[in-house]
Structure 1
């Protein structure tokens, strides 16, 4: 008998002082890892630390659930520098084909001492 591919989905959101959604993260626990399916911040809120706070919250949730770490993907024109700055390392790429942008995968593994590498 097989196991459920996704143990639990996670939806996080960031709101401004008026209750408007200005960012969000969607992820899921997948086979011992936490996968960030989507991380988005409204254009007017970018650079304010919201994306980093959402990602940090996902890391706490992943650790609390016993995940080995977090992985995600982005396109070359989106946020690779952001993920590197947040401690993620590149683990793979799909080459650029024609006009299609290059897709890049990142991961952050949790080590045995309770801190993230």
Structure 2
């Protein structure tokens, strides 16, 4: 789509665009808040063969840790690895200066798991995916 001297395009994921947007938003956010401590980290578990057992990906900014993804291999879910990964992430978030942490989990995933670890529901996005909900949760780390 073209309008005047601008062109709008829609396409597949664009890593260069995502990096530029992230950089521009970091600049905007710093000007607005004075906070520039954005970072990310992961927690990874492997077995004796070097195969992935599970892990977690998260970001930090302004004293908040946001958990993006958590996955534990099915044969290791009853061995406490989810709890170990979550506790390691909480400790790393605190080490990075975070005093709170947020996560969302679909109703068919693990909201009960997070609630058992002290997370409280703060809201829901309804109907995603059809018939389910995305449960938003929060926990104070202090």
Q: In structure 2, what is the equivalent of residue 101 of structure 1?
A: 132
* Structure 2 spans left out of the alignment, 5+ residues: 1-26
For residues 6 and 94 of structure 1, do their structure 2 counterparts lie closer, same or farther at Cα, with a shift above 3 Å needed? farther
Which residue, out of 48, 71, 82, partners 1:40? 71
Could you say what secondary structure the match of 1:46 adopts? helix
Displacement, 1:6?
6.8
RMSD: 2.0
Q: Is the 8 A contact 2:58 2:68 kept in 1?
A: yes
**Higher share in helix:** 2
Q: In structure 2, what is the equivalent of residue 26 of structure 1?
A: 57
Displacement, 1:95?
1.8
**Higher share in strand:** 1
* Structure 1 spans left out of the alignment, 5+ residues: 112-117
User: When the two structures are superposed, what TM-score results if normalisation uses the length of structure 1?
Assistant: 0.85
Which residue, out of 101, 105, 108, partners 1:77? 108
Query: Using the alignment, how far apart are the partners of 1:66 and 1:97 within structure 2?
Result: 33
> Where has structure 1 moved over 6 Å in runs of 4 or more?
none
Query: Using the alignment, how far apart are the partners of 1:26 and 1:14 within structure 2?
Result: 12
Q: Is the 8 A contact 2:36 2:61 kept in 1?
A: yes
Q: Which is worse superposed, 46-55 or 4-13?
A: 4-13
Displacement, 1:5?
7.3
Query: Using the alignment, how far apart are the partners of 1:75 and 1:49 within structure 2?
Result: 20
